[in-house]
A and B are shown apart, each in its own frame.
Chain A
Amino acid sequence: DADVTQTPRNRITKTGKRIMLECSQTKGHDRMYWYRQDPGLGLRLIYYSFDVKDINKGEISDGYSVSRQAQAKFSLSLESAIPNQTALYFCATSDPTRFPYNEQFFGPGTRLTVL
């Protein structure tokens, strides 16, 4: 099955550490997204990418960076993790040629805890 996968699924790290969350997809979609989910705040967009050379900031990009290594891979990095980055992180994809536009296909999520 064409799918969206995320690694790791769970991660505990310490304040100040650099951490990378990875996302891979076999759907052949051009667009990829990173969201964080916090209780009561819903999903907030961190970064999104339309192709390897097109990276865009979302509403909460401070403290994060991304890399689109290939059409199928989109990584999220926390250069120096802090406790308020403890959250559930989701990767998603969409196909801009598929109606309705922007329908999102989600990975299973990464639960990140920063101590």
Chain B
Amino acid sequence: AQSVTQLGSHVSVSEGALVLLRCNYSSSVPPYLFWYVQYPNQGLQLLLKYTSAATLVKGINGFEAEFKKSETSFHLTKPSAHMSDAAEYFCAVSVVGADKIIFGKGTRLHILP
């Protein structure tokens, strides 16, 4: 079975600072990994996804994530935070043949002026 752990339910960074949201996964077979973002009062939208084509994945709004098999991690980063990045972020995992996707509990990102 697959699982996802997101470290830190709340993360605060200053505007202009590096954003780092941590995600570790567990899977006995090669995973597909996703980051979703939920802006206030909205549904979830896909930020980026890892499909084994490249370990460094670039997404929307300047975010990227790196798949590290040895560390079973898929951390999300952005070099310079913007106020509009304030949202909740969800990491998720799936595998070939699975009938559903497994979500982490989410990390709420706060941007300090």
Binding site for B on A (CB under 8 A): 4, 33, 40-43, 45, 48, 50, 56, 58, 90, 92, 94, 99-109
Number of interface residues of B (CB under 8 A): 24
Residue of B nearest to A56 (CB): B99
Nearest CB of chain A from residue B48's CB, rounded to whole Å? 11
Nearest CB of chain B from residue A110's CB, rounded to whole Å? 10
Most buried by A among B44, B51, B90: B44
Name B's interface SS.
loop
Indicate which residue in B44, B94, B106 contacts A100 across the interface (CB closer than 8 Å). Answer: B94
Indicate which residue in B46, B92, B96 contacts A101 across the interface (CB closer than 8 Å). Answer: B96
Contact A40 B105 (CB under 8 A): yes
Give bound CA distance, A99 to B103, whole Å: 18
Chain B residues with Cβ below 8 Å from A48 are 99-100
Most buried by B among A33, A40, A103, A108: A103
Give bound CA distance, A103 to B48, whole Å: 11
Give bound CA distance, A22 to B104, whole Å: 25
Contact A103 B34 (CB under 8 A): yes
Most buried by A among B34, B42, B45, B105: B105
Known: A108-B42, A109-B43. A102 touches B101 (CB 8 A): yes
Residue of A nearest to B34 (CB): A103
Contact A101 B49 (CB under 8 A): no
Contact B44 A104 (CB under 8 A): yes
